[in-house]
Chain A
Amino acid sequence: MTLFKLSLRNARRQARDYLVYFVSVVMAAALLYAFNGLVFSQEILNLSRRMAQMPSIIVLASIVVVCVFGWLVSYTTNFMLSRRSRELGTYILIGLENRQVARLFFLENLAVGGCALLSGLLVGNLLFQALRAIVLSLFGMPYGFSFTFSLPTVGLTAVYFVLIYLYALRRSRKRIKKMKIYDLIYFDRLNEGVVIQTGQKRRRLFTVSIVLGVAGTFLIMAGNFLLGILGAGSLIVCLYGFFPSFASSVPAFFDRHPARKYKGQNLLVFRTLAAKLATMGVLMATISMIFTATLISEGTGMVFHGTFAGRAAENACFDLYIGMEDTDRLRTEYADYIEKNIPVEKSLQYKVYCGENTQVMDYLNKNTSYYSYGYERDSVMRYSDYAALREIAGYPAVHLQPGQYLIHCMDYLEGVLKSYQQPLALGDDVLDWGGVYTEHMIQDDGLGNGVGFVLVVPDELAKDLPFHHLGYAAKTVHPVAEEQFYDLYDIHYEIHYKMDMQSDTYDTIYTKASEEADMAVMTAAIVFPLYFLALALTITAATILTVQQLSESERYKRQFEMLHKLGMDWREMAKALRWQFAIYYIMPAVPPVLIGLPFILNLAKMPEPGVMVGLNSPAAITGIAFGLFVLIYTLYILLAYTNLKRNVLPERGY
Chain B
Amino acid sequence: MLQVKNVEKYYGGKNNVTKALDRVSFDVEDGEFIAIMGASGSGKTTLLNCISTIDTVSAGCILLDGKDITELPSRELAKFRRERLGFVFQDFNLLDTLTIEENIGLTLALNHYNAAAVLDKVKETAGKLGISDILDKFPYQISGGQKQRAACSRAMVAGQSLLLADEPTGALDSKASKNLLEIMTQMNQSMGATILMVTHDAYSASYAKRVVFLKDGRIFNELLRGGRVRSVFYHEILAVLAALGGDVSDVI
Contacts and interface: CB of A to CB of B under 8 A. Distances in A.
A541 to B, nearest CB: 24
Interface stretch (A118-126, A303-311, A567-575): A567-575
B80 A567 contact: yes
B74 interface: yes
A562 B95 contact: yes
A137 interface: no
A259 B109 contact: no
Nearest to B119: A258
B102 A271 contact: yes
Main secondary structure of the interface of B (DSSP, over half): helix
Given A567-B78, A567-B82, A271 B97 contact: yes
B11 to A, nearest CB: 16
Contact of A272 (B54, B83, B97): B97
Interface in B87-126: 87, 89, 93, 95-99, 102, 105-111, 113, 115-116, 118-119
Given A193-B140, A195-B140, A568 B118 contact: no
B156 to A, nearest CB: 13
A275 B78 contact: no
Contact of A565 (B54, B79, B108, B119): B54
B57 interface: no
Size range of the chain A interface in the assembly = 20 to 34
A261 B113 CA distance: 12
A267 B109 contact: yes
A192 B55 CA distance: 33
A268 interface: yes
Interface string B116-154: 101100000000000000000010100000000000001
**Which has the most chain A C-beta neighbours within 10 Å: B74, B105, B109, B119?**
B109
Size range of the chain B interface in the assembly = 35 or more
A271 B94 CA distance: 13
B78 A569 contact: yes
A195 B102 contact: no
B81 A275 contact: no
A654 B171 CA distance: 28
Contacts of B106: 267-268, 566
Contact of A261 (B97, B102, B110): B102
A567 B157 CA distance: 14
Contacts of A9: none
Nearest to B108: A262
A568 B74 contact: no
Contacts of B177: none
Interface string A259-277: 1111100011001101100
B81 A567 contact: yes
B115 A196 contact: no
B98 A271 contact: yes
A572 B109 CA distance: 12
B206 interface: no
**Which has the most chain A C-beta neighbours within 10 Å: B81, B89, B119?**
B81
A165 to B, nearest CB: 35
A263 B108 CA distance: 10
B97 A565 contact: no
A560 B82 CA distance: 14
Given A258-B118, A271-B102, A566 B110 contact: yes
B78 A570 contact: yes
A568 B138 CA distance: 22
A560 to B, nearest CB: 10
A566 B81 contact: yes
Interface in A466-498: none
Interface in A242-287: 251, 258-263, 267-268, 271-272, 274-275
Contacts of A653: 74
Contacts of B85: 567
A572 B99 CA distance: 21
B183 to A, nearest CB: 20
A268 B102 CA distance: 9
Given A559-B95, A569-B78, A195 B138 contact: yes
A569 B97 contact: no
Given A193-B140, A195-B140, A566 B87 contact: yes
A563 interface: yes
B31 to A, nearest CB: 22
Contacts of B223: none
B251 interface: no
Contacts of A558: 93
A164 B119 CA distance: 53
A193 B139 CA distance: 11
B77 A654 contact: yes
B97 A196 contact: yes
B140 A262 contact: no
Contacts of A192: 140
B53 interface: yes
Nearest to A570: B78
Contacts of A263: 109, 115
A553 B170 CA distance: 26
A654 B105 contact: no
A10 to B, nearest CB: 29
Contacts of B56: 654
B115 A262 contact: yes
B176 to A, nearest CB: 20
B52 interface: yes
A195 B96 contact: yes
A267 B82 contact: no
B87 A568 contact: no
B110 A568 contact: yes
A262 B109 contact: yes
Contacts of A196: 97, 138
A196 B119 CA distance: 21
B163 to A, nearest CB: 13
A191 to B, nearest CB: 10
A260 B82 CA distance: 21
A259 B93 CA distance: 24
A198 to B, nearest CB: 9
B113 A262 contact: yes
Contact of B115 (A251, A260, A564): A260
A113 B111 CA distance: 49
Given A259-B118, A262-B113, 12 more contacts: A195-B97, A196-B138, A258-B119, A261-B115, A261-B118, A262-B119, A263-B115, A267-B105, A271-B97, A275-B96, A566-B154, A654-B53
Which 7 pairs, one residue from A and one from B, show the smallest C-beta to C-beta distance?
A: A567-B82, A567-B81, A275-B97, A259-B116, A262-B115, A262-B118, A262-B109
17 contacts: A195-B96, A251-B99, A258-B116, A259-B116, A261-B102, A262-B105, A262-B108, A268-B106, A271-B97, A271-B98, A565-B93, A566-B107, A567-B78, A568-B78, A569-B79, A572-B110, A654-B55
